[in-house]
A = this chain, B = another copy of it.
């Protein structure tokens, strides 16, 4: 209807340069051999006519496309947009482009997006899988010869490279540090939703990073002698109101609970605001630690202590792995763990003793 692309083809250039289509294709496609004379003639003709190669047709011929599909949970979240930047920069340096998609952390959308991307015949896929237990669509991609790298999450059954943070270790590290300060009852707040609003079985947590962290949380808390640590995991902090409700529930259990762990920067922002609104002073009245070093972590008073997840690097590494696979690396899939150190700033204080 609308697309009346009058784009020129190699044939047009060939005619103008008075050589065969094949010769023109060879110099324009930078493959095969051509005499210096033919070469110049073609290049000049192309320049004169303003020829633009058609990568669509090229991909169809060669079977490979210069496009990589990226599926993240939410591009609006700085965690992912930073990772995408890392991916983008690395990919571009290798002459690849990226198609980006949002799964909204919903399996159905992720499946749909994988299908769309596969139809576009992307060269590879970088995905933050929403549910490590349902990766058949990714496995199918892999089987069909499209390399896959998972970002921030790991799906063991998938058999793909994965780039992750130190989810399990970091939570242990943070808790031990807090325990040094005398904290025993620490709340973990996550956006994850469950049917009944209670933490269910760990195996039912689809996002591996979330599962690892909660699992590590429970282990470390038990080790420290807390009898029922599952009671300290608060789920469903998905929006402003929900987070407010969670904070209310936490404060009802104050002064037993003396510290809060926010599983991402959005949650942390809401918790922080809620605490301030209620007149609490940090870290005297409450200790707060978050995952991800958001750009605002150092503009609050006090500054937020965070587990630094360098997601730009996550993205970089994931792209590097994908490129390696694209180049034929057939080594067994590996998990690449990016260090996520605790950046201690102003929101960690001694536990408030009664």
Q: How many copies, total?
A: 2
Beta-carbon nearest neighbor of A311 in chain B: B76
Give complex CA distance A55, B115 in Å: 11
Give complex CA distance A76, B295 in Å: 11
Q: Is B276 within 8 A of A295, CB to CB?
A: no
Known contacts A75-B84, A121-B5, A121-B55; decide if A301 and B276 are in contact (CB<8 Å): yes
Chain A residues 1 to 47 lying within 8 A of chain B, measured CB to CB, are: 1-7
Q: Is B300 within 8 A of A120, CB to CB?
A: no
Q: Does A82 contact B (CB under 8 A)?
A: yes
Q: Is B97 within 8 A of A98, CB to CB?
A: no
Q: Does A64 contact B (CB under 8 A)?
A: yes
Separation in Å of the A40 CB from the closest CB of chain B? 22
Q: How many residues of A contact B (CB 8 A)?
A: 65
Known contacts A81-B75, A81-B81, A296-B295; decide if A52 and B115 are in contact (CB<8 Å): yes
Give complex CA distance A1, B152 in Å: 29
Q: Is B327 within 8 A of A298, CB to CB?
A: no
Instruction: Report which of B2, B59, B102, B328 forms a contact with A2, defined as CB distance below 8 A.
Output: B328
Chain A residues 86 to 110 lying within 8 A of chain B, measured CB to CB, are: 88-89, 92, 97-102
Beta-carbon nearest neighbor of A312 in chain B: B76
Known contacts A54-B121, A63-B5, A119-B53; decide if A100 and B100 are in contact (CB<8 Å): yes
- Return chain B residues, CB-CB under 8 Å to A53: 119
| A76, A118, A146, A266: most-surrounded residue (chain B CB, <10 A) | A76
Beta-carbon nearest neighbor of A327 in chain B: B2
Separation in Å of the A122 CB from the closest CB of chain B? 10
Q: Does A173 contact B (CB under 8 A)?
A: no
Q: Does A347 contact B (CB under 8 A)?
A: no
Q: Is B99 within 8 A of A55, CB to CB?
A: no
Beta-carbon nearest neighbor of A88 in chain B: B102
Q: Is A81 within 8 A of B88, CB to CB?
A: no
Q: Is B145 within 8 A of A4, CB to CB?
A: yes
Give complex CA distance A82, B76 in Å: 5
Separation in Å of the A348 CB from the closest CB of chain B? 18
Q: Is A88 within 8 A of B67, CB to CB?
A: no
5 A-B pairs with the lowest CB-CB distances in the bound complex, closest first: A296-B296, A81-B81, A3-B64, A55-B119, A76-B85
What are 23 A-B residue pairs whose CB atoms fall within 8 Å in the complex? Answer: A1-B64, A1-B328, A2-B326, A3-B62, A3-B63, A3-B64, A5-B121, A5-B145, A6-B145, A54-B121, A55-B120, A56-B120, A56-B121, A74-B85, A76-B84, A78-B78, A78-B81, A88-B100, A88-B101, A88-B102, A98-B99, A99-B99, A99-B100
